Chains A and B, each alone.
Chain A
């Protein structure tokens, strides 16, 4: 079976060289990297806004670019939806006309009369139809832009930092819609971001972009916890992503009880609902390691596990190192000083207890 995305391109822009190659089968592939690392150039190559000097771009096995065979499909024939950082709605058209713009150009067999209703329902923008883009809030504009791209029945959806121009409240408003998009619609998404929180929450696959190259690509939890990547400039700080389920609440203290494979966690309740599945993220530097179970300590959470990997000494003056603890199947990445590791005599195979403050557990 063909991968959803198969990309290998080379393109020089002045001093900057984009030389990126990766394949992905993820439902949402995040391109993660610092500003200026080439993420946007890469999606522009996929979307047809940049003609690469050499290389190939395949989506679902279909050739969009293959310079060796002289194929560079123009952007209007690629059927790739593009959601830009600024929504780029057409100011002279109403929201309805904006939404239907791409739909009109979509191939007849790919469009259905019920498409608009489905998209309005998915994105919650039905009440905006007769408005003009000028009167919409940033979050509404971005949702309309997503709907407009969806209605062009694309085979792939590109999202270039769609939340970057929005404040925190608007981001929180849109994130659930992108999750629904990822889980319900079945169009693969390439999502550009420099926010670890967004990537941790949304991505199924992560490709790290560094100076025009892809330095790593794989499942999100694996990439975010990889010890060798954590020390690279521009890479996200090492962290662990753990699948969890809400099993109860502590009403008196406003906490939610989560079940994970390695044990239970208590976190701030927030807007969590009973039975909800979620991914929590724990920074490697927020975890304590103890040889014996601790008592008389304020941290509420302890996961027990076995050390499976101890990384190279790194950081400033090589004073720190990462280790990985297997907690009944969940991998927990921990950042410790080399001195602590030596003092405790930690080695691969040792049973240990990982102590985590509730306030250090990031929930969506």
Chain B
């Protein structure tokens, strides 16, 4: 297998997995919090927040990538703060690729989690409260386990989106082999050079395999969890 792929191609595969995993894990707490607020909160500006979360789904990816570049670039208002106080550089780094992927997958993640939180029976939470559980315990012991299938689905969607993200990533962090060249960027590069078809095909097959595997794992996990809480 090692011989089958060139070192550069391996680097692209490994980088893609790291970027997608980082994007999924880093956006999980934010996604869960926003999903909870959208599912349960009643406040002024809720529809504005809802629209803002969905923006990356509607905007052209290049636009999202360009906005990220303006805001999170080395001289951007957020990027400058991150660099000066935390030493974090996002532009033209793999961390930037993770950010771009996370932003693009965020609406999918929030949507899946929000639906599952909305489906949790509030009456069960009331019952837990009368049994002495504080709101934090109710969330941890009742709400969270009951919406676990939706959380898993949201995470896998975010991961899958990150694996395939191209437009925002290439705009924000370019296409640097070994640093920001993820699978889609590498495939794109192969198609731009004469005789690159074989490499493009190999990476395409790998890309399909990873996506299908992610889908199967998520289905299996969601089914496992759902069987435990089903038949209520």
Of residues 69 to 83 in A, which have CB atoms within 8 Å of B's CB atoms?
74-82
A88:B127 contact, CB within 8 angstroms: yes
The answer, among A92, A102, A106, A152, for a CB contact under 8 Å with B229, is A92
Judged by a CB distance under 8 angstroms, whether B134 is at the interface is: yes
Cβ contact of A82, chosen from B127, B141, B230, B232, cutoff 8 A: B127
Encode contact with B along A90-125: 1 for CB under 8 Å, 0 otherwise: 111000000001101110000000000000000000
> Is A84 located at the chain interface by the 8 A CB criterion?
yes
Contact with A along B122-153 (1 / 0, CB 8 A): 01101111111111011001100110000000
Q: How large is the interface on B (under 10, 10 to 19, 20 to 34, 35 or more residues)?
A: 20 to 34
Which residue of the partner chain, among A49, A74, A92, A149, contacts B131 with CB atoms under 8 Å? Answer: A149
In angstroms, Cα B132 to Cα A104, docked, is 9
Question: What separation, in Å, do the CA atoms of A189 and B146 have in the docked complex?
Answer: 31
- Residue of B124, B126, B127, B229 contacting most chain A CB atoms (<10 Å): B127
CB distance from B136 to the nearest CB of A (A): 10
**Does B42 sit within 8 A of A, measured CB to CB?**
no
Q: Is the CB of B232 within 8 A of A133?
A: yes
Select B231's contact among A84, A86, A106, A135, beta carbons within 8 Å: A135
Could you tell me if B131 and A148 are in contact, using CB atoms closer than 8 angstroms?
A: yes
Distance (Å) between the CB of A295 and the closest chain B CB?
59
Known contacts A84-B123, A88-B124, A152-B131; 9 further A-B pairs (Cβ under 8 A): A74-B129, A76-B132, A76-B137, A78-B130, A80-B130, A88-B123, A89-B232, A90-B127, A132-B228
**Complex Cα spacing A90 to B232, Å:** 8
- Contact residue range for chain A? 20 to 34
State the majority secondary structure of interface residues on B.
helix
B133 contacts across to A, CB distance below 8 A: 76, 101-102, 105
Q: Looking across the interface, which residue of chain B has its beta carbon closest to that of A88?
A: B127
Q: Is there an interface contact between A91 and B231, defined as CB atoms closer than 8 Å? A: yes
Q: Are A90 and B128 in contact (CB under 8 A)?
A: yes
Check A101–B131 contact: CB distance below 8 A. yes
A26 CB contacts on chain B under 8 angstroms:
none
Chain B CB within 10 Å, residue with most, of A48, A91, A149: A91
6 tightest CB-CB pairs across the interface, nearest first? A134-B231, A105-B132, A102-B131, A91-B232, A92-B229, A82-B130
Pairwise interchain contact A79-B146, C-beta atoms closer than 8 A: no
A76 close to B134 (CB less than 8 A): yes
Q: Please report B residues at the A interface, Cβ cutoff 8 Å.
A: 123-124, 126-135, 137-138, 141-142, 145-146, 228-232
Residues in chain A near residue B141, CB distance under 8 A: 101
Partner of B132, one of A88, A89, A152: A152
Nearest residue (CB) in B for A151 is B131
Give the distance in Å from the alpha carbon of A152 to the alpha carbon of B129 in the complex.
11
Min distance, Cβ A5 to any Cβ of chain B, angstroms = 17
Which one of A76, A78, A152 has the highest number of Cβ atoms from chain B below 10 Å of its Cβ?
A: A76
Residue A52 lies at the interface, judged by CB distance under 8 Å to chain B: no
Q: Given the interface contacts A84-B123, A105-B137, does A92 sit within 8 Å of B228 by beta carbon? A: yes
CA distance A134 to B228 in the complex (A): 10
| Contact A102-B231, Cβ < 8 Å, known A88-B127, A92-B145, A92-B146 | no
| Chain A residues, Cβ within 8 Å of B228 | 92, 132
A94 to B146, CA, bound (A): 14
> Does the CB pair B142–A90 fall under 8 Å?
yes
Q: In this assembly, does A47 line the interface, its C-beta being within 8 Å of a C-beta of chain B?
A: yes
